[in-house]
Structure 1
Amino acid sequence: MTYKSLKNQQGIGIVEVMVALMLLAIAVLGFSAMQLAAVKSTDESLMRTRALAVMRGAAENMRGYGEDGIGAFTTALNGNARNTDGCMQSGDSLNYCTVAQLAAKDAATLNVFATSQGMTLRLVNCPGTAGGQVRRCMIAAWGKTKATLGSGRNDCANEATGIQNSGASCFVMEAY
């Protein structure tokens, strides 16, 4: 072997291989992080869609109750009612229902369904409507967020302004 042949390198050195593997590993980690962010966004979108569908159905039911029924609906929904004693048909007897009983039954059914979908529901007076006609807002919350208005870390929206709190996983809709 001559001195001249040792001066010129032939093939790939271990340093180049290690640098290439490190760059590949960084690229794979970046791609994985992007996939996780996409999955999280998809899950949030799915929960918002479910919440909107549940809340829209509840708002349509509420419009048929009148003021007495809405009070019973609100009490049952906010009290996390799961079942109500009834006015429904049992056996051969038919029991007639009042509007308040029907509203409470609908709220109990809604609570069971919302819980099965991983969310909690509340019906509250909308912020900023105390001086005029009071409007009711329905709140659907999931994850660590509570279906409440307040300034706490886990509250859905600010009680005074109605602005959604940062990082909250919830949906607020004017219902009635």
Structure 2
Amino acid sequence: MKFQETKLAGAYIVDLNLLQDERGFFSRIFCRNEFEQHGLVSDVVQGNMSWNRSKGTLRGMHFQYSPYQETKFIRCVRGAIYDVIIDLRKDSPTYKQWIGVELTADNRTALFVPKDFAHGFITLQDDTEVFYLVSQSYQPGSEGGIRWNDPQFQIEWPLEPTCISAKDAAWPDYEG
């Protein structure tokens, strides 16, 4: 795998290292040793998948409260998403900064998200599936969120959402 740190310290774009021949290719999509060599949390406790019916579906911006914070490793396995993360680490030099990364089934790029980040995405195509590996089991009552269009972050979404859950639409603006 090829690890490229983003401007948000500890968050990485991860591309595949393809071994190709006449059949196609082979590649690791996760390797504990490689994650540990980059100082990344490699404990995988749960795998999640979301299927999204239509382009313009927005999920986010989610995080987990202490002590249940999650690291996430996110890959789009069908379709395409614009994946957004916000650094919520108050002691970080990039506190309240965000990045967006296009993850698609075609580019096979993944995103490693450290704990104490908010995460969300919008689908860029109909019939999109997203697969996550996470470091914590989901704990009811420990989930938090930020409104997807909170003006203090000025996230530049590539399109307006056409489908968003009532819960995600109702998250408050960030107070931090």
TM-score range, shorter chain: under 0.3
Greater C-alpha radius of gyration: 1
TM-score using structure 2 length:
0.26
TM-score (structure 1 length as normaliser): 0.26
Higher strand share: 2
Name the one with the larger helix percent: 1
